[in-house]
Homo-oligomer: A and B are copies of this chain.
Amino acid sequence: MEQPTDGNITIDGQEITDLNQKELRLSRQEIGMIFQHFNLLWSRTVRDNISLPLEIAGVPRVERLERVEELIKLVGLSGREDAYPSELSGGQKQRVGIARALANNPKVLLCDEATSALDPETTDSILKLLIDINKELGLTIILITHEMHVIRKICHRVAVMENGRVVEQGDVLDVFLHPKQQVTKKFVEQVMGDKEQDDAYEFLTTSYTTGKNIRLHFIGETTNQALISRVAKEFDVEINILQGKITQTQKGAYGTLVVNIDGENNELARAIEFIKSTSVEVEVAPNA
């Protein structure tokens, strides 16, 4: 929300960077913001916190109270209207934050690390609320986060930033499965397989010396194919799953398995050839 040195910001066809002070203030009311640390006023009750943006926008009292009541119901805080933030759990605080951000019927909801301070269960409930809001109110939600599982769970499109620049963007599944930049790869590791496994992978490739250790990348629908059992049936090889992780997303399943395929050399080569012909991506350990 600072004066940018460069670049421009366009929301709903309006060039934000061209606005003067007053217009900028007004245009801000069309963006609802949610913060990692909630940024609630401890001196105001839940009701009054939600009321604040309405007061700022100059909404008359009666209308304001009505709207606040509505919002409290929307975010599921009925009964806690008169509580102070200090009396709320983290999840409840973020619900107040969301209600407050929605107060002026914004076009965009900007969530800056909105769930990073919450425990996993609370994160889930907040994400669920965001999905509901997205569907019901039809507003755009921009999520800023470093938690990849949050993106996996609720986002449609993703952009990866590094040093203040967007270095990669696109459909969530595309970016997750084919990360191009180093940053993206590191991030995607969080959900797709982690460094621990890489460590172990090294270890595996040294202790399993017979056969070939290969890494299989399952992308989207391909996990439906009973690949391993088909290979086992069709080729005279033994397949041993060493380690890996397979996960489901909204657009299908993906993941990585490290397997050891052992058998007669020829047969082995044919089996790997076959796997390569499927949509599963294969990586063969160099030293095996």
Contact = CB atoms under 8 A, between A and B. Distances in A.
The winner among A121, A224, A225, A243 for most chain B CB atoms within 10 A is A243
The winner among A149, A204, A238, A246 for most chain B CB atoms within 10 A is A246
A179 interface: no
Copy number of this protein in the oligomer? 2
Given A232-B233, A248-B200, A240 B255 contact: no
Nearest to A260: B226
B245 A253 contact: no
A230 interface: yes
A248 B203 contact: yes
How big is the A interface, by class?
35 or more
A25 B203 CA distance: 45
Contact of A229 (B149, B195, B203, B231): B231
A32 B224 CA distance: 54
Given A120-B195, A196-B149, A239 B247 contact: no
A226 B246 contact: no
A177 interface: no
A197 interface: yes
A257 interface: yes
A57 to B, nearest CB: 39
Contact of A232 (B224, B229, B262): B229
Contacts of A120: 195
Contacts of A237: 229
Contact of A204 (B240, B244, B245, B248): B248
A233 B169 CA distance: 43
A29 to B, nearest CB: 37
A195 B121 CA distance: 9
Nearest to A197: B247
A195 B238 CA distance: 32
A91 to B, nearest CB: 16
A24 interface: no
Interface of A: 120-121, 149, 195-197, 200, 203-204, 223-233, 237-248, 253, 255, 257, 260, 262
The 10 closest A-B pairs by CB, nearest first: A229-B232, A232-B232, A229-B239, A226-B240, A243-B246, A200-B248, A226-B238, A245-B245, A228-B228, A232-B233
19 contacts: A196-B247, A200-B247, A200-B248, A224-B240, A225-B240, A226-B238, A226-B239, A226-B260, A227-B241, A228-B239, A228-B241, A229-B240, A232-B233, A242-B248, A242-B253, A243-B247, A243-B253, A244-B246, A245-B246
